[in-house]
Structure 1
Amino acid sequence: MSRLEDFIARWLSRSGDATFWSWVITFLYAVVIILSFLYTRKIRGDKPLHLLWMALSTFLLAMGVNKQLDFQTLLIMGGRYLAWKTGFIRYGWVIQMAAGAIISSLCFAAILYILIRCRSVLNRAKTALAGTAILLLFLFIRIGSITGLRTAMILQYIIFHIHALELLGLTIIFASLIYYIFLDAKKEQLPHREAAPEL
């Protein structure tokens, strides 16, 4: 077996989570991702709302794929290997903190850009955004606990079972999509009563 194949085999052996709730969350991700892309197609004529839901759908897709593949494990393994090969292993903690700060900054910048571009339609997706905020909190805790960020580690200790956050956020987004796609559409199709003639 080549070194690359051995590296990939070790990553795949460490990735994934075979617990019952992990598979429930993975299945819910799949359902929510399908619904979000269906809704994104439905509203493609409304550019700000379409952009917002494209961003949300892409974020959900990335989170869903990462749920079982654990790309953060691949990044950590790759980073440690490079640090060892280049002699920077003695600065591993500093590099780990810097990587966490860079990733967090990029995520924050992307979120800020989307919110500014789509500020006119934020009120029309406030429930889904609330669920997304919970998922972002979960992501912050996961990245922070891996990179040794003290605030994230304290939050993980307080919340105890952070995967409940992930499930809660997904459930809120799922409920909002059901409303947007099915219930809200039916409400728009209901015939409006004619106003009573003025006497």
Structure 2
Amino acid sequence: MKPVTDVWTCFDDRWSPTIGDPSVMGWVTVAAYAVTAVLTARLAFGPGGRPERVFWLMLALLLAALTVNKQLDLQSALTAFARCLSKAQGWYENRKWVQTGFILGLLAGSIVFLVALGVMMRRHLRRTWCAVLGLVFLTGFVAIRAVGFHHFDILIKSDFAGIRINWLLELGGIGLILANVLALLITSRKMAAPD
């Protein structure tokens, strides 16, 4: 096993913070995440029952984290660190088992999270179903990106009628959440307005 300093030196050589997606669509996606996160946070501190407010707050925090990650590409840092650690500890050649365990853990965690969310929100799904569906889209997108397998990357980078699949998944999920948030904000504003 190599010293920890070797791992950090390897990591420093393999990854440095850069803009992850400097394209126009990358910045549009960052703006969509940011606007949706702010409006979702606003909804989290508005009217509604406690489970609904907790849902909107958790969603706002997730969207804020994804806003930052979109351009910092932190999953690449995690991948680089794991690669350096595996080489330093001598299990790089057997990394498929670790990757498989990570993927299965990620999928299991996502399923448990979505089931728990469904149970928590079961009485509020009439008001939140569109955002929950958007969250499923985003969870799927993040899981596909986290897997990092070459054939999944090819799939999400492919086009459908001139539109990239990753845009459909990511912006589609954000759009569903934003539509739900805007509908609830407009409804609450109308209800609060005097006759």
Q: TM class, shorter-chain normalised? A: 0.7 to 0.9
Counterparts of 1:121 and 1:51, CA distance in 2: 12
Counterpart of 2:36, as a letter, is V
Asked if 1:12 is matched to 2:22, the reply is: no
Q: What secondary structure sits across from 1:120 in the alignment?
A: coil
- Alignment of 1:79 with 2:82, yes or no, is yes
- For the residues of structure 2 that align with 1:71 and 1:121, how far apart are their CA atoms? 33
1:15: how far off? 5.6
Aligned partners of 1:13, 1:39: CA distance in 2, in Å?
33
**1:99 alignment counterpart:** 102
Measure how far apart 1:130 and its partner are.
Answer: 2.1
Report the Cα distance in structure 1 between the residues aligned to 2:103 and 2:75, rounded to whole angstroms. Answer: 11
Cα shift readout 1:69-99 (whole Å, capped 9, x = no counterpart):
2221111111111111111011022211211
Per the alignment, residue 121 of structure 2 pairs with: 118
Q: 1:30 to 1:51 in 2, by over 3 A?
A: same
Q: Cα deviation per residue 1:18-74 (whole Å; 9 max; x = unaligned)?
A: 11100010011111111111110113x611211221222222122222111222111
Which residue identity lines up with residue 85 of structure 1 in the other structure?
A
Q: Which amino acid aligns with 1:188?
A: M
Q: Distance in 1 between matches of 2:103 and 2:187?
A: 40
What is the deviation of 1:13?
Answer: 4.8
User: Match of 1:167?
Assistant: 171
- Unmatched 5+ stretches in structure 2: none
Which of structures 1 and 2 has the bigger CA Rg?
1
Deviation at 1:135, TM superposition (A): 1.5
1:139 aligns with 2:138: no
Query: What one-letter code is carried by the residue in structure 1 that aligns with 2:28?
Result: V
CA 190–13 in structure 1, closer or farther in 2 if over 3 Å, else same? closer
Is 1:47 aligned to residue 50 of structure 2? yes
5 and 80 in structure 1: CA distance in 2 versus 1, 3 angstrom threshold: closer
Question: What is the distance in 1 between the residues matched to 2:18 and 2:95?
Answer: 21
- How many residues get paired? 186
One-letter code of the match for 2:173? G
Q: Distance in 1 between matches of 2:101 and 2:170?
A: 25
**Conserved 8 A contact 1:131-1:173:** yes
CA contact (8 A) 1:141 1:155 kept: no
Cα pair distance change 1:123/1:8, threshold 3 Å: farther
Structure 1 residue runs without a partner (length 5+): 193-199
Q: Verify the 8 A CA contact 1:16 1:69 in the aligned structure 2.
A: yes
Runs of 4+ in 1 over 6 A off after TM superposition: none
Residues 9, 42 of structure 1: alpha-carbon distance in 2 compared, 3 angstrom cutoff: farther
Give the percent of matched residue pairs that are identical in Structure 1 and Structure 2.
26
Q: CA deviation at 1:124?
A: 1.0
Q: TM-score, normalised by structure 2?
A: 0.81
Q: Does 1:179 align with 2:183?
A: yes
> For structure 1, which segment, 129-138 or 30-39, has the greater mean C-alpha deviation from structure 2 after superposition?
129-138
